[in-house]
Every structure is written in C-alpha cells, then in structure tokens.
C-alpha cells in the first residue's frame, strides 16, 4: 500500500463510518421533535415517554456522530493538502458556512434540549429540538453542495496563475443541479433510516407485548415515515440517475457493467466481467429497464464503458478513466436492493398492522427487527458507489484523486493515523451499539412527578 492508498482508505473508513451515524441523527431529530410537539399539543403522557425514549437513543447516536464529524473538518488539510489548495477557494465556503450556520445551531440548541427540561417552557423546549433538526438539514445541504461540486463542478474557473479552481458564482454552486437532487435523495434516505430504526426497536417490544402505549404509535410513525420517505428516495434517485448519465456517463456505465453502447439497454441483475474489466463474460438482464433508468425512455441509448473511455481519452488525454467496475456495479445493486427491501417490508408492515392489529407471527417481528439494518447498508453503499464511481477523479474532469494527496506527509505517519482511527472507531462502535441496545431494551422511562421547590435536583444532568 502506498501513501495514496492509505489516504484513500482512511478517507473511506472515516467518512463511511461517520455516515452510519449522520442519517440517524438527521431523521431521528425531526421524529423526536414531532413526538414532543404531539405531547405539547395533546398533553398525552405516552408521547412524552416516547420523546424521552427516542430522545435518549438520539443522544447516544449524536455523541458519536459529533465525535467522528470532528475529523471531517481536518482531514482534507491533513491527508489531502494538494486537493485543499486546489479546491479551497470553492469548497472552503460551504464548509465554513456549514460550521457557522449549522454546527452552532445544532450544538447550542441540543445543549438547551438536553438540560432545559425544567428551565424552558414546554413549547420552547420542543422548539429547540426543531431547531436542531433544521440545523442537521442545513448541514446536509452545504456539505452536499460541496460534494456535488466534486461530481459536477460549476460556478468556478481554473486560474492558471495560482493553479487552482476559483469561485466565480457561489449561487451556481448552491443551486447545482446535482445538489438539488442529491439533497432530497439524501434527506429522504435519512428519514427511511430513522423510520426503520423506529420500526425495529418498536417491533422488539411489541413482539413481547410490552409498552404498547408507547411503541404502538412509534411503530405506526416509523412505518409511515419509512414508506413515504422511500417513495421520495426512489423518485429522487430516478431523477439523479438521469442527471448522472448526463454529467458522469462513465459512472452510469460502470454501475451497470455495460461495456458496449446499447440501444435499448437492458438492466443487469447479475454480471460477471473479465478480470481486466474490459468486457462482459456472463449476465442476466431485464430488457429496456436501463434505458429507462438512464434516459427516461424505453428506447434510449446508453453509452458503454469502452465508448466513454475513448471519449474521455480524447478529452483529457491518455489514461484509464474507468472506476473499479465490480465495486461500482455491486454497490449500486446493494444500495437499490437494500432500499427496496426496506421499503417493501415497511409497506407490508403497514398492511399487517392496519387498524391496530398486532400480528402473532414471530417471523413478522423478526423481519421487522432485522430490517433496521437495511437502510444503513443502502446508505453506505450509495456513498461508496457515488465516490468510487467518480474515480479516477476527485473533482470530475478537473482534478485526479492521485493529484490531491499531501505530498510530504511521511507514509508512516499516514499509516499511524489510519491504524489509530480505525482501532478507535471499532472500539467506539462496540460501545455505542451496546449502549443503544441497552437503552432500546430498557424501554421508555416511567414519569415521576417533579418535586416543587427551589432545592430540587436538576431535571437532567450528565
């Protein structure tokens, strides 16, 4: 492994790991806010207990999300200094704005929510969680705007004197067609993730017929959120596919392991390619579906890998412009497959639990519990697909990944950070999952009437 490989592994590990936590926080903050608002509006105690229960799981998750988010702010400069010099004029702004607009909002109002139970009026307390939820969405928008610029650079010019990309139109960066679809796709997927978490944990208790007053409504909320948000994911994903075909034809061809340009193109369920990645050996295909996914028409022509490779060579000079085909191909399938499975199970669950029914089948509840993991898989593979599918580029058509690493960080130092961070993350994952399981199984807290008087203990303390 050379320094570039180490830097790439490190970026992949820290970012995919971080992204197991982020969608849960984005989705769950809004769901907790909804539950607390329901309590403020109706005064019904089970909503308050649900708020406290899901709120606690949210906090355990958010702690690790904040912790693993720290490295994100630093690692471009640490391991990718030449990338940072090249893109900083454009991408520094969304990153700084994310900190100023989103991180301050999230952290400050989260502190108010955690400690403010007896310091703030009810409605204001619920509002602090809404503000946290808005903060997470703002954060998602700015970071996706930055990522979308790497997929489809707009609003900049290359300045030969300074040898870097320079911002010319910040509005264009924020309204990049890529971010306009990536944002709904990501946010709806985050809601699917949080919804599925709610389904799984509620199912664990409902299968045991306990805490029905809290987990009955929670299951229903989780199911509805998952089904509706899944539709959003599918719809935005469909638009995204078309935009991707237009902006990064290689990624679409690689997603399909489609070697030769085809019209109409069939969607591959299973493809095995030759070892050098230049042709197909065997495949099972559904006719015309790829044409529809890529172009919106059943007869559309879809460019194959070999033609795109030739076109990119003509445009950018000699070189290999193909990503790792097996990775793009399979990650695309795992993303879609896990997403569809999650949506299908939630739709089935919605039907089986209609009008308050509680199915007796143990298999139903088991499936519901295990379905928690599906969106996490889909999210991770979605990012692996979109980032690995853009290779060899860091910024599509502009900057190669190999030109972005820090040239003078000694490889042993890079390896040290890779090992330290990976070990730390493994330990923290074990701790976090065990804590989540402990509190998920413990169920919602019983409410105690608050003591009146000036000397009562704090309603909440670390």
Nearer to another protein, 175 or 278 (CB): 175
Which residues are CB-contacts of 326 (< 8 A; sequence separation ≥ 6)? 273, 277
Shortest separation between residue 390's beta carbon and another protein, angstroms: 21
Among residues 4, 13, 16, 78, which is the contact residue for another protein, using CB under 8 A? 78
Which range, of 108-116, 195-203, 220-228, 326-334, touches another protein by CB under 8 A? 108-116
Which residues are CB-contacts of 437 (< 8 A; sequence separation ≥ 6)? none
Among residues 13, 101, 239, 415, which is the contact residue for another protein, using CB under 8 A? 101
Among residues 4, 16, 93, 377, which is the contact residue for another protein, using CB under 8 A? 93
Which range, of 74-82, 185-193, 217-225, 273-281, touches another protein by CB under 8 A? 74-82
**Per-residue x/- track, 372-411, another protein (CB under 8 A):** ----------------------------------xxxx--
Interaction between residue 117 and another protein (CB under 8 A): no
In the beta sheet, which residues pair with residue 400?
393
Shortest separation between residue 82's beta carbon and another protein, angstroms: 7
- CA 185 to chain CA mean position, Å: 9
Q: Where are any strands of DSSP class E within 233-350?
A: 267-273, 280-286
Contacts (CB under 8 A) with another protein, residues 157-186: 159, 164, 166-168, 170
What is the spatial distance between Cα 416 and Cα 424, in angstroms, rounded to a whole number?
12
**Per-residue x/- track, 412-431, another protein (CB under 8 A):** -xx-xx--xx--x---x--x
Contacts (CB under 8 A) with another protein, residues 300-359: none
Among residues 29, 37, 51, 68, which is the contact residue for another protein, using CB under 8 A? 68
In the beta sheet, which residues pair with residue 223?
none
Helix pair 177-207, 411-442: axis angle to 10 deg: 40
Interaction between residue 283 and another protein (CB under 8 A): no
Helix H, strand E, coil C: the string for 229-273 is: HHHHHHHHHHHHHHHHHHHCHHHHHHHHCCCCCECCCCEEEEEEE
- Please check whether residue 66 is in contact with residue 428, taking contact to mean a CB–CB distance below 8 angstroms: no
Interaction between residue 88 and another protein (CB under 8 A): yes
In a 3-state reduction of DSSP, which class is residue 431? Answer: helix
Give the Cβ contact number of residue 226 at 10 Å. 31
């Amino acid at each position: 492994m050379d320094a570039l490989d180490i830097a790439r592994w490190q970026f992949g590990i820290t970012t995919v790991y971080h992204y197991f936590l982020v969608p849960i926080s984005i989705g769950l903050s809004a769901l907790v806010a909804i539950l607390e608002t329901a309590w403020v509006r109706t005064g019904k105690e089970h909503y308050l207990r649900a708020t406290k229960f899901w709120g606690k799981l949210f906090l355990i998750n958010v702690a690790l999300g904040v912790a693993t988010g720290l490295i994100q702010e630093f690692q471009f400069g640490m391991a990718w200094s030449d990338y940072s010099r090249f893109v900083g004029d454009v991408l520094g702004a969304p990153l700084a704005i994310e900190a100023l607009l989103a991180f301050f909002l999230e952290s400050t109002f989260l502190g108010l929510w955690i400690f403010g139970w007896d310091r703030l009026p009810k409605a204001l307390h619920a509002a602090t969680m809404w503000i946290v939820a808005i903060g997470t969405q703002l954060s998602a928008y700015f970071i996706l705007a930055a990522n979308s610029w790497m997929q489809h650079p707009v609003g900049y010019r290359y300045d030969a004197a300074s040898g870097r990309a320079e911002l010319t139109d910040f509005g264009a960066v924020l309204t990049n067609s890529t971010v306009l679809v990536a944002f709904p796709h990501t946010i709806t997927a985050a809601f699917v993730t949080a919804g599925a978490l709610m389904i799984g944990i509620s199912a664990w208790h409902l299968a045991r017929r306990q805490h029905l007053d809290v987990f009955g409504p929670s299951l229903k909320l989780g199911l509805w959120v998952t089904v509706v948000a899944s539709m959003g994911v599918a719809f935005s994903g469909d638009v995204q596919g078309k935009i991707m075909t237009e902006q990064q034809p290689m990624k679409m061809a690689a997603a399909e392991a489609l070697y030769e340009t085809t019209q109409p193109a069939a969607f591959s369920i299973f493809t095995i390619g030759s070892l050098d990645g230049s042709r197909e050996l065997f495949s099972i295909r559904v006719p015309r579906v790829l044409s529809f996914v890529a172009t919106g028409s059943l007869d559309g022509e879809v460019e194959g890998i070999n033609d795109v490779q030739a076109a990119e060579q003509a445009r950018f000079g000699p070189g290999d412009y193909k990503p790792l085909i097996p990775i793009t191909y399979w990650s695309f399938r795992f993303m879609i497959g896990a997403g569809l499975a999650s949506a299908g199970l939630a739709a089935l669950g919605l039907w089986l639990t209609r009008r308050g029914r509680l199915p007796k089948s143990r298999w139903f509840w088991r499936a519901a519990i295990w379905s928690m993991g599906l969106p996490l898989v889909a999210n991770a593979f979605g990012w692996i697909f979109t980032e690995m599918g853009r290779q060899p580029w860091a910024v599509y058509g502009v900057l190669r990944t190999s030109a972005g690493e820090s040239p003078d960080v000694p490889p042993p130092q890079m390896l040290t950070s890779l090992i330290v961070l990976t070990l730390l993350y493994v330990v923290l994952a074990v701790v976090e999952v065990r804590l989540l399981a402990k509190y998920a199984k413990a169920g919602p807290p019983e409410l105690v009437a608050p003591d009146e008087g000036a000397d009562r203990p704090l309603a909440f303390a670390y």
